[in-house]
Structure 1
Amino acid sequence: MSHDGIAPRAVLRSVAFLTAGMLTVPVLAGCGSDDPAGEPLAGADTAGADRSDIADGGTLRWAVDTVPDTLNTFQADADTTTARIAEAVLPSMYRSDARGRAVRNADYLASAEVVDTEPKQVVVYRLAQQAVWSDGREIGAADFAAQWRALSGKDTAYWTARNAGYDRIEKVERGKNDLEVKVTFGRPYADWKSLFSPLYPKEVMGTPDSFNDGARKKLKVTAGPFTVDKVDTKEDEVVLARNPRWWGDPAKLQKIVLRAVPHDKRVSALSDGTLDLAEIDPEAARRITVAALPQEENTPLMGPEADRSAADALRSWAVANGSDEDAADEEVSARKKLRKKAEKYARQQKALGGFEVRKSLEPAYTQLALNGAEGPLSDERVRRAVARALDREDIAGTVLKPLGLPAEPVGSHLALSGQAAYADSSGALGKPDAKEARALLSDAGWVPGGPVEEEKKDTKKDEGEEAAGSEADEEGKEDTKGSGGSEDSDDGDDGTYIVGEDDGKNHGTGDGKAPHDSGTGTGQLKQGGAPAGAYAPKGTAAPARADTAPVAKDGKALVLRFVLPSGPGSKTLETVAGRIAAMLEKIGIRTDISTVDDDSYFKDHIASGDFDLALYSWPATAFPATDARPVYSKPVPAADGSLNVEQNWTRVGTDQVDQLFDQAIATLDDSERRDLIRKADSRIWAAAGSIPLYQRPQLVAARKNLANAGAFGFATPVYEDMGFLKKSAQGPEGSPASKKGGSGS
């Protein structure tokens, strides 16, 4: 699976991994009220334009990660492309606005309201009068009822990936007329607005066969501004065509071609003219930014020869013209290859001048996951120590500041700034504090300077190397002595570490080690101090200046396996992991960072629990009570004896968090529900199973004359408004004459 995109709520919460870039972004002003939800940290960047300024027709070629295996978003193998197609071709009763909140979609829904709560919750949907399927049939109660039956979980013949919310419905029936749909819930359901988005026709949902197989490669009946023209696995693309039966504002584009292009091939595809819109990585963003600069400006040197100095060039010329014929031939060949690469790079840069980078923050955040199933991190004190050691502001700044994006750490597991449920609850864990982190480790039995039995051999080698160093170096490192025992530790080391005043000068060896016991049973005693070379009981706290020494317990050092993926985005993740490792080292925790194959990272490591620390991302949602519960619910034993973790891959959960989610999902009052969600988030912070770090950056390359498309941020794309500007509406370089940040809807 790709680690560069985040699946929307139409499919399972899926993991995705960070990319980064540069430039600037339109930022919304901070919220002036006392509302803890605040405002989104960054607005959409889509080159918004009025529909009147957009030409009729044209084809938008849009890069995606995959051609999907299914067009049914409710199946387990649905992906981000499945969801994107559904947004363009199927009804959604609600969509996401610029603040990440659910708003009524007027193209399908005239109104929707809870009309009764006692004895049961009843919601009445009043459909838009013109809303019809592409075969001319009205959208109605039969479609709602078919989707409920398919997703209720009562009929196991339907291969559904989720049924949250639908399993609470008791019945779906026609209301007062054909435009009304009455939904009665057997149990209260606060997130009822999440249902029937997308809505599939009864032809898809009506039978298990049609649900399981009928919508995998085609959708015969749709109801959006576009229809599915074809799914072409040979050409790796999905073609969407303008829907002639669409009753809303007609689509400006004639076609949208969703083309599967790997991230490392997107720059070439953009420069070759085979893409108009593509999410890109930081390096591609830098290239496009430089390509757009006027030639006379002093632009950064990039390309194949960017790292070659004048000395390198002179040396190359000398070898190519030297007396060694073999070396000269080899150098001439290398120079020709480099020249061809430089020429190709120059051609690409010229073509990339027709594009610009549009940027925002994704409705998703990257977190540090701590596997609490077993090992040191099963102890909450150790997890909290890890969390207290992290400077999240520094980490967010490392990733986002070079991009010109707001570098604020995320303060909630369940929402992002601007969303209704957001509040910074990180105070439940406490501010970064290395001293407090070390105290937590000590309380859990992990102390600096403890013996590390399995590392004695390596420690001896290190001590030998230290002895060869300067006396000053030895003094600077003396607070780490004893972690592997003395040179004679094989002769009766009983699991203690050596304390005392020895500095390598006054007592014995002069190599910075404690002297071996002479057998007298005493040592020289300095006034107010301990005998030099005395042995403290096992587990005793380390002496002063050892606060950054590796901690150990029961003869083992505290080393955490930090697993990262390879592939797109991995450079940024490696940078973040390096910063985290350095912060943990300051409190005595060492990390073993390993990079694994991108394709197996999630399945073989995250989902299976084969990690101590990991970085992955979760999408935000307007419905956290529903969507976040399986991510943070307490794992429970399954019937076969295994542990059912749902999507809680940190394996950390509490009964109290589950109870708060259960209360929130049944609370119809918006204010009370937000309070419950925020309380749940505080408890999740306190358990320290996952630590939100920063909101993910969103970098999109777009053709300059393409309007109402790009970095959408929270907002659901308005597909019918996308298109290419008329020449009269273009600025001097092809961009909108008056660029706006919104979607133009």
Structure 2
Amino acid sequence: MSHHGVGPRPGRSAVMRSVTFLAAGALAVPLLAGCGSDDEGSKPLAGQDVAAAARDAVAEGGTLKWAVDAVPETLNTFQADADAGTTRVAQAVLPSMFTVDATGRAVRDADYLESAKVIETEPRQVVLYKLDQQAVWSDGREIGAADFAAQWRALSGKDSAYWTARNAGYDRIAKIERGANDLEVRVTFERPYTDWKSLFSPLYPKEVMGTPDAFNDGARRKLALSAGPFKVDKVDTAKKDVVLTRNPRWWGRPAKLDEIDLHAVDRDKRATALAAGTVDVADIDASEAQRITTAGRDQGSGGAPLQGAGKTSAKKLRSLALTLGMDGKHLPKGPKKLRKSISKWLDEQQELRDVQVRKSLEPAYTQLALNGSEGPLADERVRRAVARALDRQTLAKLVLTPLGLPAVPVGSHVALSGQAAYADGSGTLGGPDTHEAQALLADAGWVAGGPVKAVDKAAGAQTGNGDKAGKGDKDDESGDGGSDGQYIVGEDDKSPESPDGKDTRDHQKDHAHGAPGAYAPKGTAAPQGPQAAAAPLAKDGQALSLRFVLPSGPGSQTLQEVAERIRQMLTAVGIQSEITKVSDESYFKDHIASGQYDLALYSWPSSAFPATDARPIYAKPVPAADGSLNVEQNYTRVGTDQVDQLFDQALGTLDEDEADGLLRKADSRIWAAAGSLPLYQRPQIVGARKDLVNVGAFGFQTPVYQDMGFLKKGAKPSQSPAAK
């Protein structure tokens, strides 16, 4: 999951999106239409940074060593424990009828499809796929209707023997038939489906999808068949590797690389791995990016700072280490060990000169989640007061300005800048306004100076500002001091369970595609530091205090800084909050998914298909047959019938412009309910060897694996937008 968010598991080309809201309030909500100019959000805020190069400048052969978080538990993207590594493999070895372009839109993959279009709408929607005549599986069999039909049956939700994590869209299909010839596939829908382009991406062979046993177990550690530029050679859990090699039956542009090795490397060890050459490319955090940038500027000799330091005291050596940028929390004690550690660091800095930082914005955003199921935040007025207390522009600047990335607050729950459905709907809720926030709180009965009953500290009650470890969780302060967090919902939560052990996601609707603001009124200066605290508020003898839950492991430092700034903003209107740090392992499962929090920070990935993928995030929770609450992916427990209806209407129209308009209306109503407050788009920071091209910070776009490789001698990459 990603502290800088928590996020859905990647499926198609990125990850799925999700979050929900409960609206219904005593406050009047203006007519909620998408707002903004025609040009607003017309392009991504940041371009790709991949060291783009023409294929004739890329050398033939070589092995690309790519750091991933872990060896995938499964190679089947439709299973609950699929992760980012699963998606990476699927993109390289399996067909996708549609991929995602640089603007976050679905585009036909010409390697597999000659065309795909809706050919009938009455009495039913019919889509005709015309496949490339060269498209074959690695055993020579043509890709065809049998593969489409097998995947539909497995994912339709009609056979519970298939352990599927998602089936959105497949449950709307009535039948799949061969067309006029073997290269045509006719898909007939029972109900209109606007996001039909999301289906069959990736497409697995019928050998994987044909039986429950094959689906459940057959593709977890191997894929015998492929139909991409690469194939799975082996999954080596001992060496923490997934090895992909060239597919000899590939008919498209041949892969430049001989091999891609996906190698599991801990986040806090990636700069060291890049320096040692054990990986060529890795997602990194801000502190490691700074280290690489510093190494590139440093022209001195590696051991110069230690010259004449043979008898230097431990105190002075420690000061030198901190000056060099080393992590003070993990420095050894004693001069001998310190000198050795510093020497190793300097040697690594020398090697990091061959590495560069590539950065963009992820197709994912970080949000403040407000749990509306109980407590003060069950009152919409209090949630809206929290929203009006926040200056999201300041929070975006806190994270993105130091990285040289556009610090623009995210204005939509359903799309990001550059996507067709994007419009800034935050005006529905209003910008930062301390007086309005206090008026909302007063209207809800929270007033200053009221009596406060004694509370039992031993019972875990929170009564004011503070910062403590969660009960039963180790307070791990090992953050590396620079990352924006490593939690994205779906990527890291795997299969969150409710307290009773049941999966809180609706497996019939959870669909992942395989990754990410209110402005101050004119004349209002954005707060630059800690704000003055207002008098604490109370109601019925209880203080207004919210439990702010955060992860505490490596990579959480930036998220904690954001939380502290939010806490200061809330204190300024009289809302007290106590930051509780919990272990990474506990954060999502025991707190977010189970609803054991008031405030939390996590991320949702964006999707090219928001009508499908955003719906379970904002769906109104409903009681299940066993009495539990089915929240799907709506971990704020806030939702309305009207939002559900707008999503359903958007899903059922085949007019893309109409669907985008309905999604904007849904977004405005989600803003009004104030269950989730988008803050900023996540930074995407990658360390890569300087001679590695067509790899890096991809932004929205699906990677093109066959074009990746190393520069020929004397060749130069094109200058990417983010590198200018």
TM-score with structure 1 setting the length: 0.80
Change (3 A) 1:710 1:12: closer
Deviation sequence 1:29-65 (CA, Å, 0-9, x none)? xxx9824332100000000000000000000000000
1:454 is paired with a residue of what secondary structure? coil
Aligned counterpart, 2:316? 313
3-state secondary structure, aligned to 1:353: helix
In the alignment, the residues of structure 2 paired with residue 355 and residue 99 of structure 1 have an alpha-carbon distance, to the nearest angstrom, of: 28
2:666 maps to what in 1?
Answer: 680
Q: Of the candidates 176, 179, 190, which is equivalent to residue 175 of structure 1? A: 179
Q: CA deviation at 1:696?
A: 0.1
2:549 is aligned with 1:569? no
Would the alpha carbon gap of residues 148 and 719 (structure 1) be closer, same or farther in structure 2, given more than 3 Å must change? same
CA distance in structure 2 between the partners assigned to 1:150 and 1:41 by the alignment: 39
Matched, 1:143 2:129: no
Distance 1:280 1:456, change over 3 A: closer
Deviates more, 1:32-41 or 1:220-229: 32-41
Q: Distance in 2 between matches of 1:407 and 1:269?
A: 30
Which among 230, 236, 243 is matched to residue 232 of structure 1? 236
The residue that corresponds to 1:480 in the other structure is none
> Measured at CA, do residues 407 and 314 of structure 1 come closer, stay the same or move farther in structure 2, by a change above 3 Å?
closer
Q: 1:567 is paired with a residue of what secondary structure?
A: coil
The aligned counterpart of 2:543 is 557
- Give how far 1:265 is off: 1.1
Rounded Cα–Cα distance in structure 2 between residues aligned with 1:144 and 1:3: 37
Secondary structure of residue in 1 paired with 2:684: strand
| Residues 172, 181 of structure 1: 8 Å contact kept | yes
CA distance in 1, matches of 2:669, 2:601: 21
Question: SS at 1:38's partner residue?
Answer: coil
Q: Supply the AA of the counterpart residue of 1:208.
A: P
**Kept in 1: contact 2:42–2:417 (CA 8 A):** yes
What is the match of residue 651 of structure 2?
A: 665
**Distance 1:95-1:316 versus aligned 2 partners, 3 A rule:** closer
2:258 alignment partner in structure 1: 254
Q: Point out where structure 1 has 5 or more consecutive residues left out of the alignment.
A: 17-31, 318-331, 463-545, 731-735
Partner SS state of residue 411, structure 1: coil
Whether 1:155 aligns to 2:135 is no
Distance 1:659 1:45, change over 3 A: same
Report the 3-state secondary structure (helix = DSSP H, G, I; strand = E; otherwise coil) of the residue aligned with 1:609: coil
Query: Which of 174, 185, 188 is the matching residue for 2:192?
Result: 188
Do 2:616 and 2:632's aligned partners in 1 also have CA atoms closer than 8 Å? yes
Alignment of 1:485-634 (within 5 A): 548-634=534-620
Deviation at 1:13, TM superposition (A): 3.3
Q: Distance in 2 between matches of 1:336 and 1:548?
A: 51
Structure-2 residue corresponding to 1:739: 719
Cα 1:55–1:442 shift into 2, 3 Å: same
Letter of the structure 1 residue corresponding to residue 446 of structure 2 = W
- Note if contact 1:285-1:357 (Cα within 8 Å) is conserved in structure 2: yes
Whether the aligned pair in 2 keeps the contact of 1:173 and 1:183 (CA below 8 Å) is yes
d(CA) in 2 for partners of 1:700 and 1:355? 10
Note closer, same or farther for the CA distance 1:429–1:417 as it changes in structure 2 (3 Å cut): same
Q: 1:155 to 1:44 in 2, by over 3 A?
A: same
Q: How does 1:20-99 map to 2 (within 5 A)?
A: 34-99=38-103
Worse overlay, 547-556 or 143-152: 547-556
Mark the CA change 1:152 to 1:568 in structure 2 (over 3 Å): closer, same or farther.
same
| Residue aligning to 2:632 | 646
2:458 aligned with 1:454, yes or no? no
**Greater RCO structure (CA 8 Å; 6+ sep):** 2
Q: Contact 2:244 / 2:260 at 8 angstroms: preserved in 1? A: yes
SS of equivalent residue, structure 2 residue 714? helix
> How far apart are the structure 2 equivalents of 1:438 and 1:249?
61
- 1:109 shift after superposition: 0.6
Q: Deviations over 1:282-302 (max 9, x none)?
A: 1110110011115169x9x99
2:715 maps to amino acid = A
Separation (CA, whole Å) in 2 of partners of 1:274 and 1:712:
22
Provide Cα deviations, 1:116-168, integer angstroms capped at 9, x if missing partner: 10100000001111111000011000000000000000111111001100000
Counterpart-to-counterpart distance in 2, 1:188 and 1:229: 40
CA gap of 1:133–1:390, structure 2 versus 1, over 3 A, is: same
Match for residue 206 of structure 2 among 181, 202, 216: 202
Tell me the amino acid that sits aligned with residue 387 of structure 2.
Answer: A
Answer yes or no: is 1:13 the counterpart of 2:16.
Answer: yes
Which residue does the alignment assign to 1:429?
429
Displacement of 1:547 in angstroms is 8.4
Q: 1:376 to 1:248 in 2, by over 3 A?
A: same
Preserved contact between residue 18 and residue 615 of structure 2 (Cα < 8 Å)? no
Secondary structure class of the residue paired with 1:145? helix
Structure 2 SS opposite 1:200: coil
Kept in 1, the 8 Å contact 2:15–2:606? The answer is no
Aligned-pair Cα RMSD in Å? 2.8
- Find the aligned partners of 1:627 and 1:315 in 2 and give their Cα distance: 50
Quickly say closer, same or farther: Cα 1:292–1:275, change in 2 above 3 A. Answer: same
Tell me the equivalent position of 1:133.
137
Provide closer, same or farther for how the CA distance between residues 726 and 378 of structure 1 changes in structure 2, counting only shifts above 3 A. Answer: same
**Structure 1 counterpart of 2:543, one-letter code:** A
Offset of 1:200 from its aligned partner? 0.2
Q: Return the TM-score normalized by structure 2.
A: 0.82
**Conserved? CA contact 1:47–1:742, under 8 Å:** no
Q: 1:316 to 1:66 in 2, by over 3 A?
A: closer
- For 1:100-119, list aligned pairs within 5 A: 100-119=104-123
Task: Mark the structure with the bigger radius of gyration.
Answer: 1
What does the per-residue CA deviation read over 1:160-196, in whole Å, with 9 as the maximum and x for residues that have no partner? 0011000000000000111110000000000000000
Map of 2:128 onto structure 1:
124
Q: 1:245 aligns with which of 244, 249, 254?
A: 249
Match of 1:267 in 2: 271
Query: For the Cα contact (< 8 Å) 1:368–1:616, is it kept in 2?
Result: yes
Q: 1:604 to 1:547 in 2, by over 3 A?
A: closer
Amino acid at match of 1:658: D
Give 2:328's aligned residue. none
Amino acid at match of 2:693: A
> Whole-Å Cα distance in 2 between the matches of residues 616 and 726 of structure 1?
41
1:636 to 622, 645, 648: 622
Question: Per the alignment, in what secondary structure is the counterpart of residue 265 of structure 1?
Answer: helix
1:599 is displaced (CA, Å) by 1.0
Q: Which amino acid aligns with 2:279?
A: L
Q: Which amino acid aligns with 2:373?
A: A
Query: Is the 1:51–1:721 contact (alpha carbons within 8 Å) kept by the matching residues of 2?
Result: yes
